[in-house]
Amino acid sequence: MQGVVPKLPPRRVGLAVKLSSPEAIALGKEFLRELERRGIEGVADAESAGVLGAAGGPLRAELGRHVDAVVVLGGDGTFLSVSRGCPSATPVAGVNMGTLGFLTEHSREQAFTLLDDLAGGRVLVERRDRLQVVVSDHSERREFLALNDVVINKAALARILTINVEINGEFLSRYHADGLILATPTGSTAYNLSAGGPIVHPGLSALLITPICSHTLTNRPLVVPLEWRTRIWVDEGGEEAYLTLDGQQGLPLAGGERVEVGKAAEPLSLIRVPSASFFSILHQKLKWGEREG
């Protein structure tokens, strides 16, 4: 779902940069100056403030709750580290300072055009589904958000995992594999793609279930409605497992702990490049051939 969202110019714009990129840092300093020139307060997250020579702001994961819009200068990893704390009311734009950049689709050359559009209240916003992830045992319940994927894989030196999957209360399978990926369509071009999963248009409300190096060759990727509840657990007494969310947060997963995955109530508001369709991005990022004529 997308459209031009007319809104008052933002009074506060959050800025997060890739800390290891001199180019992102230099552009970030220039971006803050341009915000000030337009009468907009620039707020750097606490991690970026030091390298930008700016006043310290909120932590990166909380930046979106304190500003009207967020701009990320970096790659998809930097984008994911910021976006997990953004409510739907705070749109996020990514300027690609990395490599592939499926989420950070604005180019460096488009950075100040993006700033003009933000200042003029003219931005193209697309809602992207996120995953609500609940990890629970008999005594504790923890909740997380993920935009790209939830991954269960084996800890270092562990042997193959046995992962049980249940969908809407019905048992699906016991996967014997190195791990399992549960991805959104947005995350279909990330780890899911590397593991042989399908590319799914982000306009679809779907959950992709992709085994990692399955011991059973008939275990193939599966796509189910995102509105269904998916429950996963690793056999008690089995190998050590680890749960990773968007490649940003991780925690050990004890045998018997349940992981429930479903559609989050709040999607992410992603600021798009008006001229870039999903298919044109696939052509550009994955080097697919353009149609002749």
Contact indicator for 133, 290 with CB cutoff of 8 Å? no
Say whether pLDDT at 30 is over 70. yes
Q: Please give the CATH architecture assigned to the domain spanning 131-263.
A: Sandwich (2.60)
178 is catalytic: no
- The answer to whether the 2-129+267-285 and 131-263 domains have the same CATH topology is no
SS (H, E, C) the chain: CEEEEECCCCCEEEEEECCCCHHHHHHHHHHHHHHHHCCCEEEECHHHHHHHCCCCCCCHHHHHHCCCEEEEEECHHHHHHHHCCCCCCCCEEEEECCCCCCCCCECHHHHHHHHHHHHCCEEEEEEECCEEEEEECCCCEEEEEECCEEEEEECCCCCCEEEEEEECCEEEEEEEECEEEEECCHHHHCHHHHCCCCCCCCCCCEEEEEEECCCCCCCCCEEEECCCCEEEEECCCCCCEEEEECCCEEEEECCCCEEEEEECCCCEEEEECCCCCHHHHHHHHCCCCCCCC
Tens-digit pLDDT profile for residues 193-247:
999 999 999 999 999 999 999 988 888 999 999 999 999 999 877 678 999 999 9
Backbone angles phi, psi at 233, to 5 degrees: -155, 150
Query: Spelled out in words, what is the top-level CATH class assigned to the domain 2-129+267-285?
Result: alpha beta
- Is this model's pTM higher than 0.75 or not? yes
Residues 145 and 209: their CA atoms lie apart, in Å, by 17
What pLDDT does residue 290 have? 63
Contact indicator for 136, 173 with CB cutoff of 8 Å? no
What pLDDT does residue 101 have? 76
- Per-domain residue ranges of the chain: 2-129+267-285, 131-263
Say whether pLDDT at 117 is over 60. yes
Overall average pLDDT of the 266-288 stretch:
84
Radius of gyration for the chain, computed over Cα atoms and rounded to the nearest angstrom: 20
Catalytic, out of 68, 76, 149, 246: 76
Tens-digit pLDDT profile for residues 143-165:
999 999 999 998 766 678 999 99
Which residues have C-beta within 8 Å of that of residue 113, sequence separation ≥ 6?
none
What pLDDT does residue 120 have? 87
What pLDDT does residue 164 have? 95
Average pLDDT over all residues of the chain: 90
- 113: tokens are 């055009």
